[in-house]
Amino acid sequence: MEDEVAQGDGEKSPDCVRQVEAPRARVTGMGTGVAATPCDERHPFVCRDLEWTVDPGTGHAYRVFLDQQAWIDAHQACERIGGHLATLTSAAEQDLVSGRVLVEVWIGVTDAKREASFTWVTSEPFAFANFAHRELESRSALNNDCVVLGPDRFWHDRPCSDRNYYLCEIDR
Ligand SMILES: [Ca+2]
């Protein structure tokens, strides 16, 4: 069965492609496929996911970057795109972001200046934390001054020279 798009009538050149349900699909598979379609036809559309998660409440955007960097280099990489390493300053912000993190990622908190005195890279008040329990117990004994958010949704302190993926945030 030919789909309804006329071929070669000179008026509507089917130069675009849309997803259609079988059996109109020119290429079928799992009940859907694609059909050549004139570009000026109106159809519902979806945009490509650019992998930024936007908080509808604050407008802040978050994205995991999958190149492995020492903490300071990740910090600078986020700044180069107009953001900063993510600052998870509330339970709501933590919840929004942590559900989408499948690997350990650097976040924007460190106690490099003074042991066990954590500060956000943005100088936001440090009033919320989500360290894993064992980190709380051993924190002062370790020289791990930088922090990752893990797929377990908890924060873990790590040596800043470790090369990890990282989570940038842009405040819009
Ligand atoms: Ca933040």
What domains can be seen in the chain, in order of their start residue? 1-46 (no CATH), 53-170 (3.10.100.10)
Per-residue pLDDT of the chain (172 residues; tens, 9 = 90+): 445 444 444 455 677 777 766 555 444 344 456 677 888 888 776 544 447 899 999 999 999 998 899 999 999 999 999 999 999 999 999 999 998 888 899 999 998 888 778 999 999 999 999 998 766 555 554 678 999 999 999 999 899 999 999 999 999 7
CA 130 to ligand 1 center in whole angstroms: 14
Tokens representing residue 158 in the block: 């790590």
Rounded to the nearest angstrom, the distance between the alpha carbon of 145 and the centre of ligand 1 is 19
CA of 65 to the centre of ligand 1 (A): 16
> 108 C-alpha vs ligand 1 centroid, how far in Å?
9
- Residue 67 near residue 74 (C-beta atoms within 8 A): no
Instruction: Supply the DSSP string of 35-59, one letter for each residue.
Output: EEE-TTS---------S-EE-TTT-
Tokens of 132: 């894993």
Ligand 1: centre distance to CA 161 (Å): 23
Q: Of 110, 118, 105, which Cα lies nearest the Cα of 77?
A: 105
Q: Can you name the residues that pair with 32 across neighbouring β-strands?
A: 21, 29
Distance CA 160, CA 115 (A): 13
Q: Is 18 helix (H, G, I), strand (E, B) or coil?
A: strand
Two tokens, residue 57: 């409440």
CA distances from 153 to 76, 83, 98, 109 (A): 24, 22, 5, 15
Share of the chain above pLDDT 90, in %: 49
The sign of the torsion formed by the CA atoms of 82, 84, 86, 92 equals negative
CA of 47 to the centre of ligand 1 (A): 26
What distance in angstroms lies between residue 169's CA and the mean position of ligand 1's atoms?
Answer: 7
**Amino acid (1-letter code) at residue 25:** A
pLDDT tens-digit readout, 36-46? 788 888 877 65
- CA of residue 14 to ligand 1 center, whole Å: 46
φ/ψ (deg, to 5) at 32? -130, 165
Q: What pLDDT does residue 37 have?
A: 81
Q: In the beta sheet, which residues pair with residue 83?
A: none
pTM confidence score = 0.69
CA of 58 to the centre of ligand 1 (A): 9
**Ligand 1 center to residue 88 CA distance, Å?**
5
102 CA from centroid of ligand 1 (Å)? 19
